[in-house]
């Protein structure tokens, strides 16, 4: 049990404190009694072993965050290990990892006295004590490895200065105070050692399924890679299943991280190669190297994916992901994203993914289906947009044709866009009414693409519709961003993992090209502008010649919300189900899901509007 | 002082109460002590004479509401007189006077015990006790005229079930409980005697200016009208200033209401007639009568306007509204809106407006300027729109030309639309940045058009811009609504009252007709639809032939947000200031005003989540 070290009731002289803080000291005196009382009474303070999720915050691993999620309490308990405490630290959350308009817990010390408080930063990055204290300090404990801080935060506090913790990505930010701090206001947030880490804070509460006794493991790991001394590396390594390896079910996988490299291995994926090639060259090197054989581009079928902060991935007990056997390739590609911002040199790494598989096939093969937008330039985003939304439809006609009468169960989802993506949501519609969110990430980052287990499985039946909406930001771009495979082109995809497997591999859409042509004509005529709409000019070229005034932007938005679509209801990326899929009407939605109203659960104990003194002893000056 | 009659601490047996309510009784027991304590301690409980504003709620005057506004406390104190208490009543607020999704204070009795509580109604009109009690009962008092209930409500409670009290119109609703009520849930809101009353709850805190000793009064009253026995009557009465009446300043006016008709006289206006006619016929009759002489349509210059719930109107001490003298008409038209939903017969009325005026002219003549949209069909609203916004611009070019270097001061404002209007806002812009709201009504009703004093005067200088935005609802219409004078056409106007008077009588805009023509062409080409865009077809006809799909709606919206405007910067409705006013660019706004974040002041005393028992004695059954 962490011992509580919050200081007693003796008055603390704070000559260097600003008037406002001095005034609040009176209340602190009162509050201290109460805090002690709360912590003493709090039977529910979690023990150190009660934090199942862990992630290093900084590349050196000086700050290590563990946490757990209490859905009944609608709160997260944090345990922050500070390996080399100097004069305090900042920890918090913000929309996309920025230090402005952030919600922060701050531990600071003037060298003699230490304080903990809930603060916020304004649009200029200036810190302020929050009038409502929602990071609740539960304890602090010195250990040989460093200081452990324990605190609690409700998902939703209804304080407009606070971050609302939602499903999906949370951008955690940290800062290290290397000098004595005499007041919160005196912290210059731009001058400190700081950074961001993305995590899925609200992990779903999954019961681990029972594992079979004949389970075997296979490690797909890169053999002794020297991590390049550059910020970003995508490393590619080709592995191979044994000759004649029969069909198995992958039922679980987990990361294997070389000790000491926890902060460098950002994410990893294992892809299966295309069965149409008999063999693939061996390769072990950067994915963007000119030496990389082109054939590796045919290794794109995801078998496993892991990102920092993720734990082991378990398939539902009635399903497994088939690999091996006839009709599937023996070749696997491991891709590791090394994130090395401090440019460490000569680090060796043998990380990878450990697959757990069984020969006793489970009842269902799991499948992966692609929802969202077709990779085509007809879906484009004007430049300079703060928020532009593109939507891909999996229509009732397609699910009617392709799904079994008993439906499918979606149990996991991986969202995917390129660099302009900011949010991704997939919603299930039945009879024109929105039923439930399949997966949503309101703080999506293209730099953090995990396969996420859903909180609850989503059943999809023939005739249902799946609408995937991506929100983009192109404020830093001067030309239109069109759909496509390039990193500066865009995608809007949700890879949903489901069972039983069907023939439907992708269910996506794009605007009808004829209507897009009318749009180019309209822009020409309406604005007296010269946009060549001659047929020999490509769609990307036409988009790039549009003068982007508010009218042309608005009308493109309206076009995408109105024009009929071309539906790709495909067995594989090239083979459509039989039927008429061009000029299909957009699904009409008669009933939307209600926005959830944030609950503001009464937090146990008082929430003093003043920092809590905390006894850490005298802190050293470097 | 109203005596406090909240009941004591003896347990109350409530056999007919639902389990949920019974459970809450325990808390009530505790709460009752506290309520008594609060009321006893509450030095600030207002006395009966402390409610300066008064309005009858129902047409019979059974319920009479008085209130005051405390801006320091950000709260309203209500005193509700119930003349003929039966088994309780409902009082509350909702967006537009509906009984669904309403925020209610309920007094109810089972015949033996009475309770007061904060409740809300859901989308089906079912009542629920609110988990946060924000209508705070301050006292109840029996008097010969009826029961007085005193209660308090903060403007903003941050309870999502509660109505946010804002500037502008508030739709008050009431219901009378004529039978014993055994639980809140048992109230069938659709089956009770109920109604709505619109008021401006948040009256501005105006200091009454000193009045001159030579002040005279003149009553413009209708002589002994028999109020027609129909729901709605607009009554017109022509009055005349004495021959040779010299220029005076109106410095104040107030309503004169015939006793007993307080609930029938809905609003009144005094108009001055056009000077270009030497004389006007006398008339005393309904405004829509075929007998009404056409010339009365030339009496449109507002001298005074009053609506139910409004008090006396005072001009600022440095200004007065000129009337009399050379160049102005001697003829005045009084218009009274009688609202007689219970169709009383044979009621006599001699109501009107009392003008207070002085021959000692004040420093400045006050003026009235029209902001918003030109009355033209080019500004149209598609049918079936829940929310459609039209915007009128008074541009920098116009104010540069027409306003004095020292600027003008706007001190009052009257918002005006026809029947589809739902919100009106005028914002002042300087150097592209929104400076302040001139006047805003987010619950605007065309049935409640008052001249409202501004909370603070707004200074407008040459080069400033005034942007007036009107929000319309055309859900009940099947054809486009175009701009114009007809009651089923629309207007978007803010009559601002200001000084010193200038030559600028109207500063309004409309979309450039050439761009609207391009829109009709575009609709034709894009949708393969037959919209005749031939020049001989009128704009209303063209609008009425548009097939209103989402694209055509969206593009019209985009057009109005993009196309250049024709500016009417006029000395009178027909004479423009010299200059180029066609195809003017829309003002660009680089900085918006921030939405105010509602403050949730801690209310004094506890807020039990249960009804408060209240001792009213046994209530009679009819």
> Do A196 and A76 share a structural domain?
yes
Confidence grade of residue B613 (pLDDT, cut at 50, 70, 90): confident
* Domain match, B326 and B425 both: no
**Is residue B585 reached through a cis peptide bond, with omega within 30 degrees of 0 on the bond before it?**
no
Q: How far is B563 from chain A (nearest CA, A)?
A: 8
The torsion region of residue A583 among left (phi > 0), alpha (psi -120 to 50) and beta comes to left
Q: What is the pLDDT at residue B301?
A: 84
Within this chain, do residues A98 and A111 fall inside the same structural domain, yes or no?
A: yes
Residues A234 and A285 in one domain: yes
pLDDT at B606 over 70: no
Which residues of A fall within a CB distance of 8 Å from B551? 558-559, 561-563
Which domain-ending residue is among B137, B170, B203?
A: B203
Residues in chain A: 622
Q: Would you call A547 an interface residue with chain B, using a CB distance cutoff of 8 Å? A: no
pLDDT > 70? residue B29? no
CB-nearest partner of B522 from A522, A554, A561: A522
Tell me, what's the pLDDT at B525?
A: 81
Q: Do A526 and B525 touch (CB under 8 A)?
A: no
Helix (H, G, I), strand (E, B) or coil at A172: strand
What does the pLDDT read at residue A468?
Answer: 98
Distance from CA of A101 to the nearest CA of B (A): 15
CATH assignment of the domain containing B104: 2.60.40.1210
Chain-centroid distance of CA A332 in Å reads 25
Q: Evaluate whether residue B36 is within a structural domain.
A: no
Q: Which residues of A touch B607 (CB under 8 A)?
A: none
Name the range with the highest mean pLDDT among B6-10, B371-375, B487-491: B371-375
Are A483 and A570 in the same domain?
A: yes
pLDDT of residue B616: 65
Label residue B622 by pLDDT band (50, 70, 90).
very low
pLDDT over 90 at B331, yes or no: yes
Where is the domain boundary, B297, B328, B362?
Answer: B362
Question: What does the pLDDT read at residue B27?
Answer: 40
Nearest Cα of chain B lies from the Cα of A556 at a distance, in angstroms, of 10
Indicate whether A316 belongs to any domain. Answer: yes
pLDDT bin (cut points 50, 70, 90) of residue A602 is low
Q: Do A554 and B563 touch (CB under 8 A)?
A: no
Q: What is the pLDDT of residues B393-418, one digit of tens each?
A: 999 999 999 999 999 999 999 999 98
Q: What percent of chain B has pLDDT over 90?
A: 67
Instruction: Note the pLDDT tens digit of each residue in A335-371.
Output: 999 988 889 999 999 999 999 999 999 999 999 999 9
A551–B contact, CB cutoff 8 A: yes
Q: Which of B152, B168, B203 is the last residue of a domain?
A: B203
In a domain, A608, yes or no: no
Q: Is 50 exceeded by the pLDDT of residue A603?
A: no
Same domain, B176 and B90: yes
Q: Which of A97, A79, A113, A110 is nearest to A187 (CA)?
A: A110
Measured at the CA of A387, the angle between CA A385 and CA A390, to 5 degrees, comes to: 100
pLDDT (0 to 100) of residue A594: 86
Please check whether residue B39 lies inside any domain of the structure. Answer: no
pLDDT of residue B596: 75
Q: Are residues A161 and A63 in the same domain?
A: yes
- CB contact at 8 A, B551 and A559: yes
Integer Cα distance of A201 and A170 in angstroms: 6
By residue range, what is the domain housing residue B468? Answer: 367-595
Nearest CA in chain A to B597: A160
Q: Flag whether residue B521 sits within 8 Å of chain A, measured between CB atoms.
A: yes
Q: Is residue A15 part of a domain?
A: no
Residues in B touching A602 (Cβ below 8 Å) = none
Q: How far is A562 from chain B (nearest CA, A)?
A: 6
- Decide if A381 is inside a domain: yes
pLDDT band for position A610 (cuts 50, 70, 90): low
pTM: 0.79
Active site residue B443: no
| Structural domain count, chain B | 3
Are B378 and B470 in a shared domain? Answer: yes
A533 vs A257: which has the higher pLDDT: A257
Instruction: Report how far residue A208's alpha carbon sits from residue A206's, in angstroms, rounded to the nearest whole number.
Output: 6
Q: What is the pLDDT of residues A145-157, one digit of tens each?
A: 999 999 999 998 8
Q: Is A555 on the interface with B (CB under 8 A)?
A: yes
Peptide bond between residue B500 and the one before it cis (omega within 30 degrees of 0): yes
Q: A318 near A364, Cβ under 8 Å?
A: yes
Contact B551 A557 (CB under 8 A): no
CATH number assigned to the domain comprising residue A549: 2.60.120.230
Which pLDDT score, from 0 to 100, does residue A621 have? Answer: 40
Judge: B550–A562 Cβ closer than 8 Å, yes or no: yes
Q: Is the CB of residue B389 less than 8 Å from the CB of residue B471?
A: yes
A310 and A403 share one domain: no
Query: Which residue, chain included where needed, has tokens 């080069």?
Result: B463
Backbone angles phi, psi at B167, to 5 degrees: -60, 155
pLDDT band at B202 (very low <50, low <70, confident <90, very high): very high
CATH label of the domain that carries residue A343: 2.60.120.310
- State the CB neighbour count (10 A cutoff) for residue A490: 27
**Reduced DSSP (H G I as helix, E B as strand, rest coil) percent helix, strand, coil of chain A, to 5:** 10, 40, 50
Q: Is the pLDDT of residue A35 over 90?
A: no
Bridge partners (DSSP) of residue B331 are: B240
The DSSP element (H or E) to which B390 belongs, if any, is: strand B388-394
Tell whether A248 and A396 lie within a shared domain: no
8 Å CB contact between B40 and B24: no
pLDDT of residue A309: 73
Give the max Cα distance, chain B: 82
End-to-end CA distance of chain A: 31
Do A449 and A589 fall into the same domain?
yes
Higher model confidence: residue B76 or residue B48? B76
The candidate with the shortest Cα–Cα distance to A59, out of A256, A262, A238, is A262
Q: What does the mean pLDDT of chain B come to?
A: 87
Name the active-site residue from B53, B234, B283, B515.
B234
Confidence of residue B37 (pLDDT cuts 50, 70, 90): very low
Confidence of residue B533 (pLDDT cuts 50, 70, 90): low
- pLDDT band for position A207 (cuts 50, 70, 90): confident
Average pLDDT estimate for B218-244: 93
User: Is some CB atom of chain B closer than 8 A to the CB atom of A141?
Assistant: no
A&B contacts, CB < 8 Å:
48
Closest C-alpha among A586, A446, A574 to residue A509: A586
Whether A162 and A59 share a structural domain: yes
Please indicate, yes or no, if residue A270 is contained in any of the structural domains: yes
- Strands (DSSP E) along A257-351, which ranges? 265-272, 284-286, 301-307, 313-314, 319-323, 331-339, 348-349
In a domain, B168, yes or no: yes
Q: What is the pLDDT of residue B263?
A: 86
- With beta carbons under 8 A apart, name residues in chain B contacting A557: 554
ipTM above 0.95, yes or no: no
pLDDT of A302 higher than 50: yes
**Mean pLDDT of all residues in B188-214:** 91
Q: How much of chain A exceeds pLDDT 90, in percent?
A: 67
Chain A contact for B160 (CB, 8 A cutoff) = yes
Contacts of A160 in chain B (CB under 8 A): 597
| CB contact residues (below 8 A), chain A span 108-137, against chain B | none
């Amino acid at each position: 049990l962490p011992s509580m070290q919050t200081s007693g009731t003796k008055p603390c002289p704070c000559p260097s404190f600003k008037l406002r803080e001095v005034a609040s000291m009176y209340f602190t005196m009162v509050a201290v009694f109460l805090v002690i009382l709360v912590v003493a009474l709090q039977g529910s303070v979690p023990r150190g072993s009660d934090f199942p999720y862990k992630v290093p915050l900084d590349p050196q691993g000086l700050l290590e965050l563990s946490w757990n999620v209490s859905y009944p309490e609608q709160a997260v308990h944090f345990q922050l290990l500070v390996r080399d405490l100097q004069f305090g630290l900042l920890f918090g959350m913000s929309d996309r990892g920025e230090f402005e308009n952030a919600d922060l817990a701050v531990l600071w010390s003037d060298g003699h006295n230490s304080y903990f408080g809930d603060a916020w930063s304004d649009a200029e990055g200036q810190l302020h004590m929050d009038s409502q204290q929602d990071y609740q300090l539960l304890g602090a404990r010195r250990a040989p490895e460093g200081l452990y801080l324990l605190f609690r935060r409700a998902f939703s506090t209804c304080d407009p200065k606070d971050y609302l913790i939602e499903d999906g990505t949370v951008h955690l930010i940290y800062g290290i105070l290397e000098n004595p701090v005499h007041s919160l206001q005196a912290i210059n947030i731009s001058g400190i050692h700081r950074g961001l880490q993305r995590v899925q804070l609200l992990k779903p509460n999954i019961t681990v399924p029972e594992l079979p006794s004949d389970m075997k493991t296979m490690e797909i790991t890169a053999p002794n890679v020297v991590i390049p001394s550059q910020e970003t590396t995508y490393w590619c390594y080709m592995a191979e299943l044994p000759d004649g390896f029969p069909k198995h079910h992958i039922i679980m996988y987990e990361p294997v991280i070389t000790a000491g490299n926890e902060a460098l291995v950002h994410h990893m994926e294992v892809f299966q190669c295309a069965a149409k090639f008999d063999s693939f060259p061996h390769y072990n090197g950067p994915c963007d190297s000119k030496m990389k054989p082109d054939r590796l581009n045919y290794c794109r079928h995801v078998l496993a994916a892991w990102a920092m902060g993720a734990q082991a991935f378990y398939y539902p007990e009635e399903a497994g992901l088939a690999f091996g056997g006839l009709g599937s390739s023996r070749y696997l590609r491991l891709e590791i994203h090394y994130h090395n911002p401090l440019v460490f040199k000569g680090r060796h790494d043998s990380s990878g993914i450990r697959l757990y598989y069984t020969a006793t096939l489970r009842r269902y093969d799991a499948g992966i289906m692609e929802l969202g937008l077709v990779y085509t330039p007809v879906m484009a985003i004007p430049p300079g947009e703060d928020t532009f939304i593109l939507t891909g439809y999996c229509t009732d006609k397609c699910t009617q044709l392709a799904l079994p009468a008993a439906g499918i169960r979606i149990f996991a989802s991986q969202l995917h866009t390129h660099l302009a993506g900011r949010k991704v949501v997939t919603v299930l519609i039945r009879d024109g009414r929105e039923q439930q969110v399949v997966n949503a990430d309101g703080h999506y980052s293209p730099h953090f693409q995990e396969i996420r287990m859903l909180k609850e499985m989503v059943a999809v039946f023939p005739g249902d519709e799946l609408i995937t909406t991506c929100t983009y930001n192109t404020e830093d771009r001067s030309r239109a961003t069109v759909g496509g495979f390039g990193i500066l082109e865009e995608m809007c995809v949700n890879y949903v993992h489901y069972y039983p497997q069907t023939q439907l591999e992708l269910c996506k859409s794009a605007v009808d090209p004829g209507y897009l042509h009318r749009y180019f004509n309209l822009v020409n005529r309406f604005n007296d502008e010269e946009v060549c709409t001659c047929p020999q000019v490509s769609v990307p070229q036409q988009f790039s010649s549009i003068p982007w005034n508010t009218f042309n932007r608005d009308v493109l938005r309206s076009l995408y919300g109105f024009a009929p679509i071309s539906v790709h209801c495909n067995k594989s990326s090239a083979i459509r189900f039989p039927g008429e899929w061009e000029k299909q009407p957009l699904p009409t939605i008669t009933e939307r899901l209600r926005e959830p109203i944030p609950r503001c659960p009464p937090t146990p104990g008082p929430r003093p509007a003043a920092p809590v003194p905390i006894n850490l002893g005298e802190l050293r000056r470097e």
